[in-house]
Amino acid sequence: MITIIQQRDKCIGCNYCVELAPNRWQMSRKDGKSVLLGAQNKKGFWNIKVGDEELEENERAAEACPVNIIQIR
């Protein structure tokens, strides 16, 4: 199991996470920021626990994020 954490307020809407991990990320039509699908908001940090099979693509998304708001644990 891994945990993906996104600090959504600081998202600049670059779309890299959506391109690299489309099954877990989507762009919001409302505000142009990325949405971590299935995540819950805990004080501005969006969290979700997922299986190890999602590790590789989400690690790439975290590395590509120009504002470093995605963490994988």
What CATH number is attached to the domain comprising 50? 3.30.70.20
- Give the pTM: 0.95
Q: What is the pLDDT of residue 24?
A: 98
Handedness of CA 37, 41, 42, 44 (dihedral sign): positive
What mean pLDDT comes out for the span 68-72?
A: 98
Domain that holds residue 46: 2-72
In contact, 71 and 62? CB cutoff 8 Å: yes
Amino acid at 52: D
Q: How far is CA 29 from the centre of its chain?
A: 16
Q: Render pLDDT for 19-69 as a digit per residue (tens, 0 to 9).
A: 999 999 999 999 999 999 999 999 999 999 999 999 999 999 999 999 999
Q: What is the pLDDT of residue 11?
A: 98
Check residue 41 and give its pLDDT.
Answer: 98
Cross-strand partners of 2: 50
Domain count of the chain?
A: 1
- Alpha carbon 20 to its chain's center: 10
